[in-house]
Amino acid sequence: MSGKSPDMAWLAAHGFGVVGVEISPIACEAFFAEHHIAADRAAAGPFVRWQGGGVTILQGDFFDLGGKYAAALDRGGLVALPCQDRYRYAQHLRSLLEPGGVLLLVTIEYDPARRSGPPFPVFPDEVRQLFPGAVERSRHPLGRARWTAVGGADAVVWVMRVRRG
């Protein structure tokens, strides 16, 4: 659920082979346009594969993604989903990580009585249930007016490593 996140360009520039999954063709096109990359586009099973500049975006449904990956970055994915969809999402995301693989997850926390999602607040107990072994690495307050207006919000970064064997 990569959207047109600039994180993909940053990761590619730092030597990672990046695969994003995104359902919106508009976001796929916007990513490559904004980075001035002429992308190749081809059908790839249930996906349209956009490729260029070290970044692949599979345009389609995240739940159709297979394969194994050494690492995953979820920023704005889990928190885009209502509570009832998060378990299925987390199970699928975990299934895509190879043994020893790492998940970097960014969540948001705010008072749900003050605002409704998305993004939905996902609190530590739920993160630990969805991603056993996840460890909170950092948190920082979000300074934008839309968050201060609802009493504040924190962005929280989690790391989970998949056990080997």
Residues forming contacts to ligand SAM in the complex (CB under 6 A) are: 1-3, 5, 21-24, 27, 61-62, 75-77, 80
Residue 164 CA to residue 160 CA, distance in Å, equals 13
In contact, 82 and 137? CB cutoff 8 Å: no
Longest alpha-carbon distance in the chain: 47
Nearer of residues 2 and 56 to ligand SAM, judged by Cβ: 2
Q: What's the min distance (Å) between Cβ of 128 and ligand SAM? A: 22
Nearer of residues 78 and 160 to ligand SAM, judged by Cβ: 78
Residue 36 CA to residue 21 CA, distance in Å, equals 20
Nearer of residues 3 and 101 to ligand SAM, judged by Cβ: 3
Q: What's the min distance (Å) between Cβ of 70 and ligand SAM? A: 19
Q: Give the CA angle between residues 21, 49, 90 to the nearest 5°.
A: 20
Q: What's the min distance (Å) between Cβ of 21 and ligand SAM? A: 5
**92 C-beta neighbours (distance < 10 Å), count:** 14
Q: What's the min distance (Å) between Cβ of 5 and ligand SAM? A: 4
